[in-house]
Amino acid sequence: MTRDLSRREFLRRTGALGALPLTASAVAERDLHDAGNRVRRYNRLGRTQLEVSDISFGSSRLRTGEEDIVRHALDRGINYFDTAESYTRRASERVLGNVLGPVRERVYIVSKTHVDDNTSAERIMAALERSLRRLQTDYLDVYFNHAVNRVSRLQNDAWFEFVERAKRQGKIRYTGMSGHAGRLTECLDYALDEDMVDVILVAYNYGQDPAFYESLTRSFDLIARQPGLPAALEKAKLRDVGVVAMKTLAGGRLNDMRPYEKDGASYAQAAFRWTLSDTNVDTLIVSMTSPKLIDEYLGASGWRKLAAQDAALLKAYAHLNGTSYCRQACNDCAGACPYGVPIADVLRTRMYATDYQDLEMAQREYRAFQVNAAACQNCSGKACREACTHGVRIDVLCAPTHRMLA
C-alpha cells in the first residue's frame, strides 16, 4: 500500500511548520565540522528497549589499525555499533572488539551473518561464535540475517532453532533482518507478519519515498520507486519493531556536494535529517571513516525535521546524480537482461568503488557473484537501455564496472 505524505506531514518534514532555522554562517561553520558535536538524542529501539544514539556507527569500511575512529565515536556519545562477519575481511569486527571489549556494558554491538534457505543451525551458531570471539564479547545485542533478498531465506527453520538456542545460552539478546534489494518490502512484510524480528535494518533515504522525491525532481521525471517501504516502516513501528536505516546518503558522493553547501547544512546532514524526520526511524547507521566526518555527521543528531536549506541540497544532489545513482531496492530492471546479469547488484558494487572509494570491498563482492557483468562487454545493450525506470544507463555503466572489478 502506498503511503502518500499528507500536506501537513510534508510541511512538517520540510520544516515549514516551525523548522529550526540554520541560517547564520557562524552556526553553519559550527555545525558542519564542529569538533564539539555530540549525540543529542537517544531513541528507544522498539521492543528491545535499547536506548540508542540517533546517529550510529556503521563499520563496513573499518580497517585494521583504525581503533581511533571507534574511540572518537564513543567519545562523542555514539553507543550503537553495527558490523557483520563479512565486513573488511573480518577486520571490522576485530577493530570494534579491541575498543569496545573493555567498555562492553556501555555500548550495544550488533552483527550479521548470511543465512540461506538451507544453512544449518550449527553453521549459524559457529558463525556467531566466531563473531563473538572477534568482538571480544560474550553476547550480541542484536544478531541479523544479513542482506535478505528473498522470502525463502526467512523460511529456513534452522534460523528459529538457532535463535532459541542462542538466546537460551545468552549469546544473543534480539534478532533482526537487514535488506536493501529489490524484494525488500516483500521480505519486510513477511518478517513483520510472522513476528520473527525485533529490529529491521533497511536501506532508506529520501530517494526511496516517491512522495518526497517527486517534489524535488518533478521536472526531471525521476520518481523513485519503493512505494511500499514507508508503509512497511509504519507497520514495524505499530508492532514495536526497532527500525534502523542505512544507505541514507543515496550513494554518498559527498565531494560532489561541497560547492553547494553553505548556510549551515552539509549534504550528509540534510540527508540524515530527512531520514530522521520519519519518526518511524529509531536510528541510522553510516560508515564512519574519520573523526572529522563523525563530527560533521553528528551535526544532524537531535533533529526530527529538515532544516531550511536541506531541501535545496537534496534537490541539487538529485539533479546531479539522479541518472547515475542506482536505487537498487526498486529492482524495476530485474529480468531485463537476457544473459541474466544481476544489474542492481553489479551497480551496487560500482557504487562501492566509485562513490565510497572502496575498491577492495567492491572487488570482493563483485568477484563473489555467480553471474557477473562479463556478458556486457560484447553486448549492444539494446535489452537494458531503457529498462531503468529512473533513467540509469545500465548499458553504459555495466561493462566498465566489469572491467574495473573482475
Using rule CB under 6 A, residue 95 touches ligand SF4:
no
Cβ 166 to ligand SF4 shortest distance, Å: 34
Using rule CB under 6 A, residue 395 touches ligand SF4:
yes
Cβ atoms of 58 and 252 closer than 8 Å: no
Sole binder of ligand SF4 in the list 308, 381, 400, 404 (CB under 6 A): 381
Our CB check for ligand SF4 shows the closer of 160 and 339 to be 339
With a CB cutoff of 8 Å and minimum separation 6, the contacts of 219 are none
In the region spanning residues 280 to 339, those forming contacts with ligand SF4, defined by CB under 6 A, are 326-328, 330-333, 337, 339
Our CB check for ligand SF4 shows the closer of 134 and 350 to be 350
Using rule CB under 6 A, residue 394 touches ligand SF4:
yes
Grid coordinates representing 306?
529538515
Sole binder of ligand SF4 in the list 343, 351, 362, 405 (CB under 6 A): 343
Using rule CB under 6 A, residue 184 touches ligand SF4:
no
Quick one: 344 exposed, middle or buried, by C-beta within 10 A (0-12, 13-18, 19+)? buried
Distance CA 260, CA 87 (A): 32
Distance CA 369, CA 342 (A): 9
Q: How many residues are given for the chain?
A: 406
Using rule CB under 6 A, residue 376 touches ligand SF4:
yes
Distance CA 159, CA 175 (A): 10
Which of the stretches 94-102, 214-222, 256-264, 387-395 binds ligand SF4 when contact is defined by CB under 6 A? 387-395
Using rule CB under 6 A, residue 398 touches ligand SF4:
yes
Amino acid, single-letter form, for residue 331: N
Counting residues that bind ligand SF4 (by CB under 6 A) gives 27
143: β partners: 111, 175
Cβ 101 to ligand SF4 shortest distance, Å: 39
In the region spanning residues 16 to 35, those forming contacts with ligand SF4, defined by CB under 6 A, are none
Q: Provide the 10 A C-beta neighbour count for residue 360.
A: 13
SS3 258: helix
Which secondary-structure segment (H or E) carries 110? strand 108-113
Using rule CB under 6 A, residue 341 touches ligand SF4:
yes
Our CB check for ligand SF4 shows the closer of 211 and 347 to be 347
Cβ atoms of 61 and 356 closer than 8 Å: yes
Q: Which residue has the cell 546517529?
A: 55
Quote the Cα angle for 127-343-335, to 5°.
105
Using rule CB under 6 A, residue 222 touches ligand SF4:
no
Cβ 401 to ligand SF4 shortest distance, Å: 10
In the region spanning residues 140 to 179, those forming contacts with ligand SF4, defined by CB under 6 A, are none
Whole-angstrom Cα Rg for the chain: 20
Sole binder of ligand SF4 in the list 45, 135, 232, 379 (CB under 6 A): 379
Binding site for ligand SF4 (CB under 6 A): 326-328, 330-333, 337, 339, 341, 343-344, 347, 373, 375-376, 379, 381, 383-384, 388-390, 392, 394-395, 398
